[in-house]
Chains A and B, each alone.
Chain A
Amino acid sequence: MANDVLLSVKDLHTWYELKKWGFLHAGYVRAVDGVSFSLHRGEALTIVGESGSGKTTLLKTILGLAPKTKGEIVFAGQKLDGKRGGVEQLRSQVGFVQQDPYGALPPFMTVRKILEEPMLINKFGTGAEREQRIREVMEEVRLLPVNDFLAKYPHMLSGGQQQRLVIARAMILRPSLIVADEPVSMLDASVRVEILELMRRIQTAHNLGVIYITHDLSTVRYFSERVFIMYAAKVVEQAGVDEIVHNSLHPYTKALLTAIPDPDPDNAHRYRDVPSGEPPSLVNPPSGCRFHPRCPVKIEGQCEVEVPPPFEPMKGHLVECWLYKA
């Protein structure tokens, strides 16, 4: 694994302005609120969080699909400060894999057309080179035999094949980073592992950086070395995958792990202690630690007052929680 930094995000904020009567300012939705991390070439990183925790917005900001409010994104040593602030200058360097494979594919285009579009837009090669690249990528994601698929429309493919096509499209411009937004959550359990393994194989084969977003901790193992836990627009804990699973520190991470379903018949009679309540509003987030209203172990007088900085109780394991104050 090369050790150079591929993507570095510093103190990234993405706020959406709320308006009253169409023009008066009425506050912000703080969808991403001060996230920093760096991703090395060939490294896979998983961001886990529940719905509304800001993980998709983080990814869209990196892709330049959502406007960043402040912060800095450096991609392959180049600071991105385009109009939207994301990787728009480096489109061909980043592949995007979406959640719903059917929705992610234009229903009126054939497989060939779908794969050719990114190359046409980014002026990639000649006609013959493009055709060559399409076949290459389709073989790589195992849409075989290639000739059978080229003229098909997305609705003629199975869910797994559709997701392979989405991955092929993300790969077609030979990117160095792939961002995947819950790539398997809409798929049958039977094809999930297959798709994750495919992504893993591609990642190692091309030494890609991958940001993998999921709400499902059980799929993380297949994939990545490092896991970020997001809660209410902030990263609350980051560590290696084994650390997170076996030695989680943040009370929210613990709650998430408890919530993973386990096919054990006895579970029907077992009570799981999951923190009650819902994720907080991102317009008026709670003061101090954002998890404090739901936290079972909160420290009165501190958690609701002061924002916890990242502590590092173990090497490579960062957690934003006052319990681990050094």
Chain B
Amino acid sequence: MLQRLKTLRRYPSAIIGIAVLAMLVIVSIYAVIAIPYGEAIRLWRGGPGVWDDNPRNAAPVWFDWFTSDALPRTIIVSTADAGVKRVEPIGGGKNRVEITLPFTYNYDRFPNELILRSEAVSESSTRTRFSVFWRTPAGEMVPLATDRAMRATDSYYISQDLNVSSKLPAGAVRPEVGLFSDYAVSAPEKERTPVKGEYAVVIQTEIPEGADYNARLVVYGTVHGVAGTDHRRRDLTVALLWGAPLALVFGLVAAVGSSLITFVLSGIGTWYGGALDALFERLTEITMIIPFYPVLIMIGQFYNRSLWIMLGVTIALSIFGAAMKTYRAMFLQAKEAPYIEAARAYGAGNMRIVFRYLLPRIVPVLLPTFVTMVPSFVFLEASISVLGLGDPVLPTWGKIINDAQTNDALYKGMYYWVVEPAVLLMVTGFAFSMLGYALDRVFNPKLRTV
């Protein structure tokens, strides 16, 4: 057995397959250690405060390498870092606070979005108001909002504030375009380019003494991270990383589980024959006509969409699958081998014969089959997810494709959203197939010359 495995080295496809699988395994181990299961679920669920600083639908950073323009990254300025806060008592138990949040904008495209988040530190300060100004590189101050009511936590979506557009000389363009444009030029949005330079957002307010006020500006870029983000600002890296262990576990457990159980049951059934064999045969025939996908879709639709339930159902439906018939045919032949008769003659019991004499005979056939079976289960999980019946909480590759599809990713030109998980799925499939076919050649030497 081991010697046979060593001959795998002669097959380049096996080496590539093993290398890719090793990488996937390393990525999986990294993913599980870096982002524990519960954390992965929490991150993927998202919600307030989890992904606030990520741009929506941003392409991966490496997209920048293929464009001549410098694509904007996300810029975050807050009073905690580069922001300047000036506090000046004005009497009457009040302080005038002026916060300046300066940043350098050096990109060739407009940002995705602009949000100003602010936070009042004491209850009493919420009874006051604040004003926001935009300072251009030329030093002009553009009022964005005046006397905005101060809340304990406030998000001012500058890029959604239609009033901003009307205040800008540039005319009817989106606020984030207008704010970064050259005001002197009057041109349609598509022909405009951002003006590079030092910008700032200035916030002025008066708050009671003892109270405090902090602000944070996020200028969202159009590229983010290694993998980009989705419509809910979630970093796709999380899902791509976690998709690997989930795909591998689903594929391997389903393939190993179903083929091992089928293998053992078929061996026992064939050895004992009679009623047991007949029962297994009829069960197989019944299972073979049950349509596999529709059953999974039904379970997803009406019962439970958990990945682990799907895994269980997949194994249960595969046990008495077509493989049962194949194995049975092999066992019927193997069971008549003289060495089994010899084993009976020296007193081997039924179970010993099944596990020590009958099953090992077929293992060389089983091993390549189960390796080539893995991708079909990986794809099965992905297709269920793509149909929107995937696990609702776990980030799987199929789930990303499903999100991309429901958000018209391809229509909107967000290819990365579909291509990344699809490529990973294909690479996984190829790796198992390449290894499986090489194993097949090693274990079934009749194929070697083919």
Contact = CB atoms under 8 A, between A and B. Distances in A.
A103 B343 contact: no
A91 interface: yes
Nearest to B352: A121
B345 A99 contact: no
Main secondary structure of the interface of B (DSSP, over half): helix
Contacts of A166: 342
A100 B338 contact: yes
B345 A94 contact: yes
B346 A96 contact: yes
A6 interface: no
Contacts of A105: 339
Contacts of B426: none
A250 to B, nearest CB: 31
A312 interface: no
B337 A103 contact: yes
Interface in A94-143: 94, 96, 98-100, 103-108, 117-118, 121-122
A118 B347 CA distance: 7
A138 B348 CA distance: 22
B346 A91 contact: yes
A195 interface: no
Interface size grouping (class) on chain B: 10 to 19
Contacts of A88: 347
Nearest to A63: B345
A108 B360 contact: yes
Contacts of B342: 96, 98, 104, 166, 169
Interface in B337-372: 337-339, 341-349, 352, 356-357, 360-361, 363
A307 interface: no
A91 B347 contact: yes
B339 A106 contact: yes
Contact of B338 (A91, A104, A117): A104
A53 to B, nearest CB: 19
Contact of A108 (B341, B345, B348, B361): B361
Contact of B341 (A92, A98, A118, A122): A98
A88 B347 CA distance: 7
Contacts of B348: 117, 121
Contacts of B337: 103
Contact of B360 (A92, A106, A122): A106
Interface size grouping (class) on chain A: 20 to 34
Contacts of A104: 338-339, 342
A78 B360 CA distance: 37
A92 B348 CA distance: 12
A122 B345 contact: no
Given A96-B346, A121-B346, A65 B361 contact: no
B346 A173 contact: yes
A65 B338 contact: no
Contacts of A100: 338
Given A108-B360, A108-B361, A121-B352, A103 B338 contact: yes
A94 to B, nearest CB: 7
A117 B343 contact: yes
A149 to B, nearest CB: 17
A176 to B, nearest CB: 15
Interface string B275-318: 00000000000000000000000000000000000000000000
Residue of B338, B357, B360, B363 with most chain A CB atoms under a 10 A cut-off:
B338
A104 B338 CA distance: 5
Given A103-B337, A105-B339, A107-B361, A122 B347 contact: yes
Contact of B345 (A96, A106, A107): A96
Interface string A187-223: 0000000000000000000000000000000000000
A173 B345 CA distance: 12
A99 B341 CA distance: 12
Contacts of B344: 65
A231 to B, nearest CB: 25
B5 to A, nearest CB: 14
B342 to A, nearest CB: 5
Given A118-B346, A173-B346, A98 B338 contact: yes
B418 to A, nearest CB: 47
A122 to B, nearest CB: 6
A104 B348 CA distance: 14
A118 B357 CA distance: 13
A65 B347 CA distance: 10
A108 B361 CA distance: 7
Nearest to B341: A65
A118 B344 CA distance: 10
B364 to A, nearest CB: 8
Contacts of B363: 108
A92 B1 CA distance: 31
Nearest to A118: B346
B347 A121 contact: yes
Nearest to A166: B342
A107 B364 CA distance: 11
Nearest to A98: B338
A166 to B, nearest CB: 8
Residue of A99, A103, A105, A106 with most chain B CB atoms under a 10 A cut-off:
A106
Nearest to B360: A108
A65 B360 CA distance: 22
Interface string A80-91: 000000001001
A91 B345 contact: yes
Interface string B382-416: 00000000000000000000000000000000000
Interface string B78-117: 0000000000000000000000000000000000000000
B446 to A, nearest CB: 15
Interface string A43-79: 0000000000000000000011100000000000000
B263 to A, nearest CB: 15
B49 to A, nearest CB: 59
A103 B346 contact: no
Contacts of B349: 121
A240 to B, nearest CB: 29
Contacts of A94: 345
Residue of A88, A100, A121, A169 with most chain B CB atoms under a 10 A cut-off:
A121
Interface of B: 1, 337-339, 341-349, 352, 356-357, 360-361, 363
- By Cβ-Cβ distance, the 7 closest A-B pairs, closest first, are A91-B347, A118-B346, A96-B345, A103-B338, A104-B338, A108-B360, A106-B339
Given A98-B342, A104-B339, 19 more contacts: A88-B347, A91-B346, A91-B347, A98-B338, A98-B341, A99-B338, A100-B338, A103-B339, A104-B338, A104-B342, A106-B361, A107-B361, A108-B1, A108-B361, A108-B363, A117-B343, A117-B346, A169-B346, A173-B346
26 contacts: A63-B345, A64-B345, A65-B344, A65-B345, A91-B347, A92-B346, A92-B347, A96-B341, A98-B338, A98-B341, A103-B338, A104-B338, A104-B339, A104-B342, A106-B339, A108-B1, A108-B363, A117-B343, A117-B346, A118-B347, A121-B347, A121-B348, A121-B352, A166-B342, A169-B342, A173-B346
